Amino acid sequence: MTGSTGPGLRDLTATRGLLYGGDYNPEQWTAEVWAEDVDLMVAAGVNLVTVGVFAWSRIEPRPGERDFAWLDRVLDLLAGAGIAVDLATPTASPPPWLAHDHPDTLPVTADGVRLSQGSRNHFCPSSPTYRAHALAIASDVVARYADHPAVVMWHVGNEFGQVCHCDACAAGFRAWLRARYGDVAGLNAAWATTFWSQAYSRWEEIVPPRAAPYLINPTQRLDYRRFCSDTLLELYTAQRDVIRAAAPAVPVTTNFMGFFPHVDYWSWAGALDVISDDSYPDPVDPDAPVLAALTHDLMRSLAGGPWLLMEQAVGAVNWREHNPPKTPGRMRADALRAIAHGSDGVLSFQWRASRAGAERFHSAMLPHAGVRTRLHRSVRELGTDLAALAPVAGSEIRARVAIAFDWSSWWAAEEPGGPSARLRVLPQVLSWYRPLWRRGLAVDLVHPEADLTGYDLVLAPQLHLVTDAAVANLRAFTAAGGTLALGPFSAVADANTAIRTGEFPAPFTDLLGAGGQEWCPLPDGGAHLDLDGHRYPVHTWAERLEASSAVVLGRFAGADLDGAPAAVRSPDGRLLYLAAVGGDDLLEAWVATCLEQAGVTPSGQVAQPPPGVEVAVRGDHTFLLNHTRTPVAVPLTRACRDVLTGTDHPHTAPVPADGSVVLIERQP
Amino acid sequence: MTGSTGPGLRDLTATRGLLYGGDYNPEQWTAEVWAEDVDLMVAAGVNLVTVGVFAWSRIEPRPGERDFAWLDRVLDLLAGAGIAVDLATPTASPPPWLAHDHPDTLPVTADGVRLSQGSRNHFCPSSPTYRAHALAIASDVVARYADHPAVVMWHVGNEFGQVCHCDACAAGFRAWLRARYGDVAGLNAAWATTFWSQAYSRWEEIVPPRAAPYLINPTQRLDYRRFCSDTLLELYTAQRDVIRAAAPAVPVTTNFMGFFPHVDYWSWAGALDVISDDSYPDPVDPDAPVLAALTHDLMRSLAGGPWLLMEQAVGAVNWREHNPPKTPGRMRADALRAIAHGSDGVLSFQWRASRAGAERFHSAMLPHAGVRTRLHRSVRELGTDLAALAPVAGSEIRARVAIAFDWSSWWAAEEPGGPSARLRVLPQVLSWYRPLWRRGLAVDLVHPEADLTGYDLVLAPQLHLVTDAAVANLRAFTAAGGTLALGPFSAVADANTAIRTGEFPAPFTDLLGAGGQEWCPLPDGGAHLDLDGHRYPVHTWAERLEASSAVVLGRFAGADLDGAPAAVRSPDGRLLYLAAVGGDDLLEAWVATCLEQAGVTPSGQVAQPPPGVEVAVRGDHTFLLNHTRTPVAVPLTRACRDVLTGTDHPHTAPVPADGSVVLIERQP
Amino acid sequence: MTGSTGPGLRDLTATRGLLYGGDYNPEQWTAEVWAEDVDLMVAAGVNLVTVGVFAWSRIEPRPGERDFAWLDRVLDLLAGAGIAVDLATPTASPPPWLAHDHPDTLPVTADGVRLSQGSRNHFCPSSPTYRAHALAIASDVVARYADHPAVVMWHVGNEFGQVCHCDACAAGFRAWLRARYGDVAGLNAAWATTFWSQAYSRWEEIVPPRAAPYLINPTQRLDYRRFCSDTLLELYTAQRDVIRAAAPAVPVTTNFMGFFPHVDYWSWAGALDVISDDSYPDPVDPDAPVLAALTHDLMRSLAGGPWLLMEQAVGAVNWREHNPPKTPGRMRADALRAIAHGSDGVLSFQWRASRAGAERFHSAMLPHAGVRTRLHRSVRELGTDLAALAPVAGSEIRARVAIAFDWSSWWAAEEPGGPSARLRVLPQVLSWYRPLWRRGLAVDLVHPEADLTGYDLVLAPQLHLVTDAAVANLRAFTAAGGTLALGPFSAVADANTAIRTGEFPAPFTDLLGAGGQEWCPLPDGGAHLDLDGHRYPVHTWAERLEASSAVVLGRFAGADLDGAPAAVRSPDGRLLYLAAVGGDDLLEAWVATCLEQAGVTPSGQVAQPPPGVEVAVRGDHTFLLNHTRTPVAVPLTRACRDVLTGTDHPHTAPVPADGSVVLIERQP
């Protein structure tokens, strides 16, 4: 499901090194400003900008008209300065006239409210009218600029993620279901519609999961999420195909949004030539670096190699409730982390801060206060650093550990009406990932049906839904000597989110030598878990297991679970199971156990990162990001050179407070 | 308003003893599973199952079709195994085709959103189309199974409680109002429509309380709640009448939902042959046992004798935000409490856990993990215990204390726009009930217009709305020597929720010798109340009283109320009034005062329950439920025998940790 | 923008002294009650009542009918007793028949929900049908009572504040925009619709800010707020013009609602003959007196002299979630504070407590419990006090300090999508006002484009949006020797809420000698600010400034801002800037700095109010309100006489616990 068949990122970076730049919205500015922008971009080391994302109404101010003159001039200007362009099909935000003339293009909420123009993204993905207009404008943009020398990448739409509940979507949903299930009887079986008298007699009775009196059929909801993701993919693919026909040598992308809940990126990855992502770690959340690293690893895994940080912020965003800015040190660390985890560039939203509109308070590479600002100085310094890091471009990361993650499983696990709404998938994944991140270990994310060859350890922190194919794949992995560790509430549901009955995790209890009888969400106060002579608090969730042949690694202490198995290992040592949710200390111990069981040990130039220092290795480069407010000396296993300063460090590498350095092994 | 005229529960339990079983949904399973189910039911002591609640789409898969063959076979199988059936009219959840073909059957929210199929209960109670289809399917089910030997009870629909705001409801509301008020002038007077220019000139101007700019006329809202309750009762009654015509000897029920806010069960009780209830105490709420006992007492009072626990959970539910399971001890205590408070059986939702659908995570008597589980072992043990308790069936409970409770009053008291949204009726009732529960005293709930003969003490913790008839009834009770204790914000409103002007409680101030001038919701920090030499904190609410001839039992301390009367007693001692909301300590003292005034003292085999041990007496059986984690020895006033173990206890009865025992006085 | 051209308040108070009374809704009562009411009003000193606010359905029970007989009688009764009437056009709440016959008169939410009758205020301000009916009933009421001797003031509608999103409003909005911007190109420029592809091609594409997928264009939202305010003003003005034509000598008002977020009262003030306000300080909020004083100062500033407290509560309100009553002392203090800040009367909602309807739990001058109540005794005592204070009527207040405040700026500052939703305008204004209030200093509020002559100091705590005219006005003020102090996030936006680029506050950095580069919402934990040798905590918000020629008064300590300028003063001392949000201690120090810089010192009979004692000076009267629970002796700068007791106080004035006194300088 990963990898791409078309032209890719390597072609771009081979000559340019790491890509640097951001969104550029010239339609907001006069031609005088364009000229200044290009000069300032060159001064800042910018070599790639994304143009045209929100330009539909500028290009087609009235139905059927086309105004390309301004864009011709902008692209020529950029080309003249040697700045490459990632050109967008401007389909993310239709002009107001489309909404007015064709209200059927507007999206509808689950409550039946048809949303209005005045914002952005106001389209129904199923609307034939929207589709026709979007394809027409995209085709004309492609036709005009397919051969423009500035255009080195195409950017389809923006942040695909719309969800709509209108009648066109209902019709599309039925067609999707018909393709999946064949006939109504098949659908009734898959959806278990004998429950609550939900059996359908004809396709037309089926509607999206709109507002209803109580819990909606969970398979209906799950399939609607799948349908929405697939429908958006159709929108993307239609535009991509237009581009491929006109410009087969230019790679096509669209910007992902990390662990975005409405689109299954595994199913999309193969349709993109370049995997690109928008990443906005919260500068005041101490967990944000961990989540950012995890998300970058997801992107690299989707790409099967280098990817591209398409959007980030150099300072504050404007869409959280409270938006502290980044320090220059944090800005640089965020950029270098992305490189360290496989990005071949750093693009920001946006080049020049908007004077007006809903994002006027979003930071930009060129802020309102102008060039002589701390922020812009940092932007230029980063441009210099990235140029110096050109050799990193295209290099690979090899992971022995993988985390199994799947959108269908995420959706199924968090359906309303489960044992606990407090058990959430991403926090679980993050808690299992953090000990790996702290060690600077490379981690891939994998679809549970993907080829697992080459991994020593696969973690499945909360893989709730497993298809039969996934079960077979994971079992084959352990049979081949791999180590698999399952977290709580895993392997509970099948592809239709029906429960796999019997003791849980039902498809694995024979291997495990243990089985669970009850999910036990914990009352406030939680309980404890004794593991390896230590007692750890557990909270939110536990499970009642009984072990037969399994080795009991840990037991619960307290509450109704006193003495019951909490962490077990199969007799052959290849399968581990943790039946609880715990804090950082417990997960540190648990993941250490898993690594030891799998024989995975850290390698590289830093054996043991000091507290507060993040380490990541890409190819022969080691990145050290100091999140503390004091300078740190990081012990090295081998003599290294600081790539940016040229200084050699035989034993320890100094990292300034709030600073980041990049090392390479010193050539003897 | 209580009692029933048709055949009842006693006929069923006379031969069967206590009833045991649960909802059984065979349409979710294959015939092979049915056979296994029946065997396992027999092994577990099951003697009654509820069938068909959600079977409409299975019986009528397409409009007008009927498929009864499967149900014939299931009922025959059950009959063959001696398991009786409570057969449902499957009208709670219409098939999707009804919603699709007749959108007018779908309910509409106050915001005008027409809800969709895909969940359950998606019908408008006023819809003529729904009514016609529901009556047709109910009639055919009744015709087919009226004489089936398995069917010993009929179960109309499920958990009636829908609220809709559509135009059909508007029309029905107008007809209901016309019947109540005669003409528009009468309505205008009752609703006080001179306020805010709300006078109606024609019936058709009146709509349900839909979304409006600000507070809606409170009498309009109150009447709409009454109308909704009455409309649902019409639905029930129409189906009941079909059953009575075809099977006059079989009792009819529908399952209540405790203190359910949308239906006035006092007005329903007389229409049921068996009062049955769904009870889901939260296993981690320490107050849940008190609320469950209170609710059971309500059901027994509605029935005027034994009632039936129609649904409960043997483990976890799936519809709270966080759903810890029950321990086996808690499961057993919940079941025995219901018996102790008058239920003649214990039925659970559901027999076999669903594999799919929105309730797949709800516990069941036969869990996903199967027969060899701690949960199922407990289920079988309970079956054994209930069989041994057969003599309890049909026995009565005699209460000398009653709590006045009325839905109209509840609705009126919690209307928006009152002195405080923090003063809530159920918490008030519970706080006055808790001291009685702690003593193991029998308590009835009574409608304020009901015959109060036989009670020594009537408590009205927050009887906000009192009709003229209720006033007369309560005054007559005190005139006949009964003791009446009123709580804060009582007797404030008349039948139309207009204020009874003058000092409050206006209809009683002459008897009381005291009157109130102002309701005084308390700022954070509250105040204190001095009663009998003790100082108790009060919070949320106080009132400014002035006493003339009343005896002042307690006074406020602090804030603007310093020294003002807080608890008073009429000169003749028959009427008490508490003008504050307090904690458990205050209510303990206050209720002790009321009991002493009324001369009520505990009788029975346990004079003083130890802390954490719940006591309830039914007929000659005493139930002891130990909520602590340590064994307890309960002192007895008379020698007893443990009914389940046969052990005699001359002085004290041992109760295991988290355990329950049932005693009977030892026959000398 | 302030001041009035018609007849005014002075004519009324010249003969009557201070006005006293409240809303009187005789339509809720029988004629017998009317007679009793008039007698009780006279006994309480009432001299003005507001009649007819919600009488539309009583006057026009069916379309086109008129029933004035009852109102004739009420007005005659009042006139006979010497009680003047503020007569309302009853247009605030249409009869249900209007809603039923003309659903287009009903308002529509942003989600498209058309609201229903059953409450009040259910009209769309743009609806031609509503407008026609409202003007018809208003005209007939005016025609009938223009010459009635009781009617001394006209009261148009009630609390104008409706917001609607229907198609009629959309049409009105377009007309308003056309008048403002001329053509679509002008609108596109003003709204910066190049952002997010929002360019309009025709007027009809523009809709109100209805529900949309994401943030809506901020200028669209800002203009819609302006349009809504203007549309309501049209409603008011149309009715006022009818009155002026029929009764040119009678002043016209409508009741404002303090810092009401949906109407720009600066733009309204000139259209009223009497500025009147509804004021409901929360009796348990310790900050309520400060906010009430500030709001009264706003009203006096809108009026350019005396104003009228049109509504307040003598006890509890019923519309907060929890509504503790007022003590008599608090009731009296609230009334006297209004007088002290320029009100020429005290009117309450309402005279007699309603028996029914949505406001039956709102306190009234004559409570449900009747005449012999603590509350009513207080009402009579206040009547006596106000009569004794007749000489205060018409007297002026002279302020040397002004606070710049503007609705457009408020709206712009709190648009979603800004740096922080936690930075709110009113709390900022209040925190700068509190130190002035604590000193008993007179303060005006001013529109930023108003004539500032006569002020020594103008504070702009958070004047986010400044028009070019405002910039010129404020600069001219400092050029003329005035002192201007700007708070954080001020002078950021222009009239269209586009950012004034460059360092901020961009239009003032040249004067200030300092400029800001970044807004820095602070993480939890905040930072500190060192000012004049003290260290103060700051929270929520800071800014990164660089000072060139400015004098740095304070610097940040901590976080990423360590050592950066936080409070600066221009080289000429006329402009001060505070770049942080702090607590009371910081603002106390900051405002002291501003006062010192401007040379403003307290004058009057109280130099230094003791803690908990509020002081306000109006003309030659000084009001002392003791908010503590102990008596206080207030030191005087000059010998005074207690106006209400006649006692002379040469050196100190005693104020009882929870009591208030009014002093006048003793004539030697």
Q: What average pLDDT does the segment C466-492 reach?
A: 98
Of B93, B99, B316, the CB nearest to A419: B316
> Would the pLDDT of C2 be above 60?
no
Number of residues in chain C: 668
The alpha carbon of residue B381 is apart from the nearest alpha carbon of chain A, in Å, by: 18
Chain C CB contacts of B203 under 8 Å are: none
Determine whether the interchain pair A315/C502 forms a contact, defined as Cβ–Cβ distance below 8 Å: no
Measured N-to-C along each axis, helices B288-303 and B328-340 cross at an angle, to the nearest 10 degrees, of: 30
| Whole-Å CA distances, A66 to A1, A59, A74, A137, C202 | 38, 5, 16, 9, 17
Of C61, C114, C319, the CB nearest to B417: C319
Chain B CB contacts of C358 under 8 Å are: 195-196, 214-218, 417
Q: Residues spanned by CATH 3.20.20.80 within chain A?
A: 7-161+254-392
Of A56, A97, A368, the CB nearest to C205: A97
Rg (CA), chain B: 26
Helix/strand/coil for A413: helix
Chain A CB contacts of C217 under 8 Å are: 118-119, 357-358
Give φ, ψ of A251 to 5 degrees: -70, 150
Reading the block at residue C234, the tokens are: 């049209």
Give the count of beta carbons closer than 10 Å to the beta carbon of residue C249. Answer: 10
Touching check for B360 and chain A: CB below 8 Å? yes
Q: What's the burial of B660, exposed, middle or buried (CB within 10 Å: 0-12/13-18/19+)?
A: buried
* Spatial contact of C96 and B199, defined as CB atoms under 8 Å apart: yes
* Residues of A with a known catalytic role: 159, 311
- Subunits in contact with chain A (3 or more CB pairs closer than 8 Å): B, C
Listed in sequence order, the residues at least 6 apart from B245 whose beta carbon sits closer than 8 Å to its beta carbon are: none
Give me the total of CB pairs closer than 8 Å, taking one residue from chain A and one from chain B. Answer: 185
Listed in sequence order, the residues at least 6 apart from C144 whose beta carbon sits closer than 8 Å to its beta carbon are: C68
Per-residue exposure over B380-398, b if at least 16 CB sit within 10 Å of its own CB, e if not? bebbebbebbeebbbeebe
Determine whether the interchain pair A57/C195 forms a contact, defined as Cβ–Cβ distance below 8 Å: no
Touching check for A125 and chain C: CB below 8 Å? no
DSSP track, A578-592: E-EEE-HHHHHHHHH
pLDDT digits (tens, 9 = 90+) for A646-667: 999 999 999 999 999 999 988 6
Touching check for B352 and chain A: CB below 8 Å? no
% of chain A residues with pLDDT over 90: 97
> Would the pLDDT of C512 be above 80?
yes
Active site residue C414: no
In whole angstroms, give the CA distance from residue A329 to residue A349: 18
> Would the pLDDT of C558 be above 90?
no
pLDDT digits (tens, 9 = 90+) for C308-346: 999 999 999 999 999 999 999 999 999 999 999 999 999
The confidence score (pLDDT) of residue A623 equals 98
pLDDT digits (tens, 9 = 90+) for B115-138: 999 999 999 999 999 999 999 999
In whole angstroms, give the CA distance from residue B158 to residue C272: 61
When pLDDT is cut at 50, 70 and 90, the band that residue B6 belongs to is: low
> Would the pLDDT of B5 be above 50?
no
Determine whether the interchain pair C205/A94 forms a contact, defined as Cβ–Cβ distance below 8 Å: no
| Whole-Å CA distances, A462 to A293, A412, A505, B319, B446 | 19, 11, 11, 21, 51
* Spatial contact of C222 and C412, defined as CB atoms under 8 Å apart: yes
Determine whether the interchain pair B95/A218 forms a contact, defined as Cβ–Cβ distance below 8 Å: no
Touching check for B125 and chain A: CB below 8 Å? no
Determine whether the interchain pair C356/B496 forms a contact, defined as Cβ–Cβ distance below 8 Å: yes
Number of residues in chain A: 668
* Spatial contact of B133 and B66, defined as CB atoms under 8 Å apart: no
DSSP track, A60-119: -SSTT----HHHHHHHHHHHHTT-EEEEEE--SS--HHHHHH-GGGS-B-TT-PBP-SSS
| Cis amide bond preceding B597, omega within 30 | no
Q: Residues spanned by CATH 2.60.40.1180 within chain A?
A: 613-665
C397-400: long-range contacts at Cβ-Cβ below 8 A with a sequence spacing of 24 or more? C397/C300, C397/C341, C397/C342, C397/C442, C397/C617, C397/C618, C397/C619, C398/C442, C399/C297, C399/C441, C399/C442, C399/C443, C399/C444, C399/C455, C400/C441, C400/C442, C400/C454, C400/C455, C400/C456, C400/C457, C400/C598, C400/C600
Q: Supply the DSSP symbol for A610.
A: P
pLDDT digits (tens, 9 = 90+) for C26-53: 999 999 999 999 999 999 999 999 999 9
Touching check for B27 and chain A: CB below 8 Å? yes
The confidence score (pLDDT) of residue C668 equals 59
In whole angstroms, give the CA distance from residue C359 to residue C70: 23
Chain C CB contacts of A107 under 8 Å are: 213
Helix/strand/coil for B372: coil
Q: Which fold has domain C7-161+254-392?
A: TIM Barrel (3.20.20)
Give φ, ψ of C517 to 5 degrees: -110, -35
Give the count of beta carbons closer than 10 Å to the beta carbon of residue C393. Answer: 23
* Spatial contact of B536 and B556, defined as CB atoms under 8 Å apart: no
Touching check for C315 and chain B: CB below 8 Å? yes
* Spatial contact of C87 and C153, defined as CB atoms under 8 Å apart: yes
pLDDT digits (tens, 9 = 90+) for B419-455: 999 999 999 999 999 999 999 999 999 999 999 999 9
Reading the block at residue B599, the tokens are: 């001369």
Q: For B204, which residue in chain C has the nearest alpha carbon? A: C100
Q: Is ipTM strictly over 0.85?
A: yes
Touching check for C110 and chain B: CB below 8 Å? no
Determine whether the interchain pair B422/C323 forms a contact, defined as Cβ–Cβ distance below 8 Å: no
Average pLDDT, chain C: 97
Chain C CB contacts of A378 under 8 Å are: none
pLDDT digits (tens, 9 = 90+) for B594-622: 999 999 998 788 988 999 999 999 999 99
Touching check for C67 and chain A: CB below 8 Å? no
Q: Residues spanned by CATH 3.40.50.880 within chain B?
A: 401-598
Q: What average pLDDT does the segment A340-346 reach?
A: 98
> Would the pLDDT of A5 be above 50?
no
In whole angstroms, give the CA distance from residue A321 to residue B55: 48
CA geometry: angle A641, A645, A646, nearest 5 deg: 45
The confidence score (pLDDT) of residue B2 equals 44
The confidence score (pLDDT) of residue A340 equals 98
* Largest separation between any pair of C-alpha atoms in chain B: 77
Determine whether the interchain pair C212/A360 forms a contact, defined as Cβ–Cβ distance below 8 Å: no
The alpha carbon of residue C121 is apart from the nearest alpha carbon of chain B, in Å, by: 7
Touching check for C319 and chain B: CB below 8 Å? yes
In whole angstroms, give the CA distance from residue B465 to residue B480: 23
What sign does the dihedral B563-B565-B567-B571 (CA atoms) show?
A: positive
Helix/strand/coil for A375: helix
Number of residues in chain B: 668
The confidence score (pLDDT) of residue B602 equals 80
> Would the pLDDT of C3 be above 50?
no
Question: Which entry of C60, C311, C415, C543 is annotated as an active-site residue?
Answer: C311
C538 DSSP β-pair partners? C527, C582
When pLDDT is cut at 50, 70 and 90, the band that residue C1 belongs to is: very low
Determine whether the interchain pair A100/C518 forms a contact, defined as Cβ–Cβ distance below 8 Å: no
The confidence score (pLDDT) of residue B223 equals 98
The confidence score (pLDDT) of residue A602 equals 80
Touching check for C657 and chain B: CB below 8 Å? no
State the amino acid at position B612 in one-letter form.
G
Chain B CB contacts of C61 under 8 Å are: 199, 201
In whole angstroms, give the CA distance from residue A305 to residue A296: 11
Q: What average pLDDT does the segment A612-621 reach?
A: 96
Determine whether the interchain pair B501/C99 forms a contact, defined as Cβ–Cβ distance below 8 Å: no
* Spatial contact of C362 and B418, defined as CB atoms under 8 Å apart: no
* Spatial contact of C139 and C238, defined as CB atoms under 8 Å apart: no
Q: Please give the model's pTM, rounded to 2 decimal places.
A: 0.97
The confidence score (pLDDT) of residue C7 equals 75
The confidence score (pLDDT) of residue B605 equals 87
The alpha carbon of residue B631 is apart from the nearest alpha carbon of chain A, in Å, by: 16
Q: Which fold has domain C401-598?
A: Rossmann fold (3.40.50)
In whole angstroms, give the CA distance from residue B660 to residue B642: 10
pLDDT digits (tens, 9 = 90+) for A565-607: 999 999 999 999 999 999 999 999 999 999 999 999 987 889 8
The confidence score (pLDDT) of residue C405 equals 98
* Spatial contact of A33 and C174, defined as CB atoms under 8 Å apart: no
pLDDT digits (tens, 9 = 90+) for C405-457: 999 999 999 999 999 999 999 999 999 999 999 999 999 999 999 999 999 99
Q: What average pLDDT does the segment A597-621 reach?
A: 93
DSSP track, B496-512: TS-B--SSBSTTTHHHH
* Spatial contact of B462 and B491, defined as CB atoms under 8 Å apart: no
Touching check for C525 and chain A: CB below 8 Å? no
Determine whether the interchain pair B111/C107 forms a contact, defined as Cβ–Cβ distance below 8 Å: no
In whole angstroms, give the CA distance from residue C251 to residue C246: 12
* Spatial contact of B661 and B377, defined as CB atoms under 8 Å apart: no
* Spatial contact of B150 and B85, defined as CB atoms under 8 Å apart: yes
In whole angstroms, give the CA distance from residue C622 to residue C609: 12
Q: What average pLDDT does the segment A526-535 reach?
A: 96
> Would the pLDDT of C4 be above 60?
no
The confidence score (pLDDT) of residue C6 equals 56
Q: For C53, which residue in chain B has the nearest alpha carbon? A: B196
Average pLDDT, chain A: 97
The confidence score (pLDDT) of residue B559 equals 75
In whole angstroms, give the CA distance from residue C553 to residue C555: 7
Of A115, A119, A356, the CB nearest to C215: A119
Determine whether the interchain pair B519/C99 forms a contact, defined as Cβ–Cβ distance below 8 Å: no
> What is the CATH code of the structural domain delimited by A613-665?
2.60.40.1180
Query: Which residue of C28, C33, C116 to mutate against B (max B Cβ within 10 Å)?
Result: C116
Query: Which residue of C111, C287, C360, C375 to mutate against B (max B Cβ within 10 Å)?
Result: C360
Give the count of beta carbons closer than 10 Å to the beta carbon of residue C424. Answer: 16
pLDDT digits (tens, 9 = 90+) for B200-245: 999 999 999 999 999 999 999 999 999 999 999 999 999 999 999 9
Interface of B with A in 235-294 (CB under 8 A): 284
Give the count of beta carbons closer than 10 Å to the beta carbon of residue C426. Answer: 18
> Would the pLDDT of C394 be above 70?
yes
DSSP track, B151-209: EEEEEESSS------SHHHHHHHHHHHHHHHSSHHHHHHHHTTTGGG---SSGGG---S
Of C198, C204, C515, the CB nearest to A57: C198
* Spatial contact of A528 and A558, defined as CB atoms under 8 Å apart: yes
* Spatial contact of C251 and C151, defined as CB atoms under 8 Å apart: no
In whole angstroms, give the CA distance from residue B28 to residue C117: 47
Chain B CB contacts of C321 under 8 Å are: 420-422
In whole angstroms, give the CA distance from residue C654 to residue C659: 10
DSSP track, C225-274: HHHHHHHHHHHHHHHHHHHHHH-TTS-EE-EE-SS-TT--HHHHHTT-SS
The alpha carbon of residue A207 is apart from the nearest alpha carbon of chain B, in Å, by: 8
